Each structure stands twice: as structure tokens, then as C-alpha cells.
């Protein structure tokens, strides 16, 4: 029932365990059969597609890749790292962090190589890899939810659509709803102690424009042109689309 939805009492990261930050962190051979409460099992990862083991690539498991436009992602992660920073450590300045980002020095590998790996995989095998953009979800969540359900092999029935099930899921999974839940305001991760509240800042598209300089924007747009050229992948930095 609606009141029994696990998202109301558990942080999303608890329900979707991370392979590298949770499952395998202290256990080289974890019990994968019993590590997830729900079936089929759901896992999260930041690993680039090229680094995924063949046991994943050649299996029947579905891969859903979620990305965000590079500028919003960069600003969000910069704030995230600041919230996790110990007081004795100085914050890396925005300009220095941006320079590292543009040179591919970034957590989980260079941004553009990361997204292009999954983008190309989704183009080559669309039944295996679904490539989603955060901006598209914010723009039309219901359409994207139906697309996701179809990809996973559990499409919504006509009765569910008419009964408002899609809208109900969209509401309970929304950034605004999750941010205000008690578990996400005061809870913390069991594996690393990170407060759940640091995962919920603004969740807005285009908020980067309040933080960066025109020269940074120009540099990133040139980088997008260079890295995504002829790939077919585009990003919406705000209300406009940045095309390679």
C-alpha cells in the first residue's frame, strides 16, 4: 500500500546498495543472493562502462544509466564534497576544481568519457542499457517513468495509468518529497556514516548559472563541442540545448 512504500522509511541509498561503496567495500566475496530485500536485485555503481566486468555486460541484467548536464553535475558535486569536508581541510576553490574537471581529473573518471561509454552502449544495445538524463525527468517525469517501466519489462497497465499510479510514483520519488522525509533529514549511512541530508541540496536544472563565470561557461561549451562531436549526445545546460 501507499503507506508501506519503503522510500518513506529508508533512504534510497539504503534500498539501492552501492557495489563499490557498500557491497564490496569490506567484503571481497559478499553474499549477493541475500544482500537485497527485493527481487529482482537492484544495485548502484559509479563504475565506467568500460570497467564493468563481463559478468555484468554479458548477463541478462538491465543497466539504467542516469546522468546530469556537466555544469550542474560539477557544481552539485563541488558542494557535496564541501559538505563532507572536515574542518581542518581547506575547500578546493571553484576555479581549481573546475580546471581539474575540464582536464578529466574527477571522481570515477573523466566525465565525458564516462557518459559516452554508457551512451554508446545504449545505442548499440538499447534493450540492455537505458540512458536517462536528469533534465528530461524534471521536464516530463510521467513520460520517462513509463519509458523506464517498459524498458524493465513491467509496463504500466491502462488501469494503472487511468488510476493515477504513474503520478503517485512520480510524487513519492520526487526530490521535494524525499528531501522532507525524516529519514533523509536526520539519518546517516550505515556503511560510511555520511548524513543522508547531504544528498539533497537543490535538485534544480540550471542552478549552475548562479555560481560560475562566463569564461567557465565558454570553456565548458568548447569542451562539449570537442568531446561529444558526432556522438549524437546533447545536454541541456538550462532552457537551451548545448549541441556538439
The rounded distance, in Å, linking the Cα atoms of 141 and 205 is: 14
CB atoms within 10 A of CB 18: 18
The rounded distance, in Å, linking the Cα atoms of 118 and 129 is: 7
The rounded distance, in Å, linking the Cα atoms of 73 and 77 is: 6
CB proximity list for 62: less than 8 A, separation 6 or greater: 128, 129, 130, 151, 152
CB proximity list for 104: less than 8 A, separation 6 or greater: 110, 111, 112, 113
- 46 an active-site residue? yes
* Residue 66 host element (H or E): strand 63-67
Q: Which of 46, 95, 103, 108 is catalytic?
A: 46
The rounded distance, in Å, linking the Cα atoms of 219 and 227 is: 12
The rounded distance, in Å, linking the Cα atoms of 199 and 194 is: 9
* Closest listed residue to residue 209, CA positions, set 75, 82, 100: 75
Residues catalogued as catalytic = 46
Amino acid at each position: 500500500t501507499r503507506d508501506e512504500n519503503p522510500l518513506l522509511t529508508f533512504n534510497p541509498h539504503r534500498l539501492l546498495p552501492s557495489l563499490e561503496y557498500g557491497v564490496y567495500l569490506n567484503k571481497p566475496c559478499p553474499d549477493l543472493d541475500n544482500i537485497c530485500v527485493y527481487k529482482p536485485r537492484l544495485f548502484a555503481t559509479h563504475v565506467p562502462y568500460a570497467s564493468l566486468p563481463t559478468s555484468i555486460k554479458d548477463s541478462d541484467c538491465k543497466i539504467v544509466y542516469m546522468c546530469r548536464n556537466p555544469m550542474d553535475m560539477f557544481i552539485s558535486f563541488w558542494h557535496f564534497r564541501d559538505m563532507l569536508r572536515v574542518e581542518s581541510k581547506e575547500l578546493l576553490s571553484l576555479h581549481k576544481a573546475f580546471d581539474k574537471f575540464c582536464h578529466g581529473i574527477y571522481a570515477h573518471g573523466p566525465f565525458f568519457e564516462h557518459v559516452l561509454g554508457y551512451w554508446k552502449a545504449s545505442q548499440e544495445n538499447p534493450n540492455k542499457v537505458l540512458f536517462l538524463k536528469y533534465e528530461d525527468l524534471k521536464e516530463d517525469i510521467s513520460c520517462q517513468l513509463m519509458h523506464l517501466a517498459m524498458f524493465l519489462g513491467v509496463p504500466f497497465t491502462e488501469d494503472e495509468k487511468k488510476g493515477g499510479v504513474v503520478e503517485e510514483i512520480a510524487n513519492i520519488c520526487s526530490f521535494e518529497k524525499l528531501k522532507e522525509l525524516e529519514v533523509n533529514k536526520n539519518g546517516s549511512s550505515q556503511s560510511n556514516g555520511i548524513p543522508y541530508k547531504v544528498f539533497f541540496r537543490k535538485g534544480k536544472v540550471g542552478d549552475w548559472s548562479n555560481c560560475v563565470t562566463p569564461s567557465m561557461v565558454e570553456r565548458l561549451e568548447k569542451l562539449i563541442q570537442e568531446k561529444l562531436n558526432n556522438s549524437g549526445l546533447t545536454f541541456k545546460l538550462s532552457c537551451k540545448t548545448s549541441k556538439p
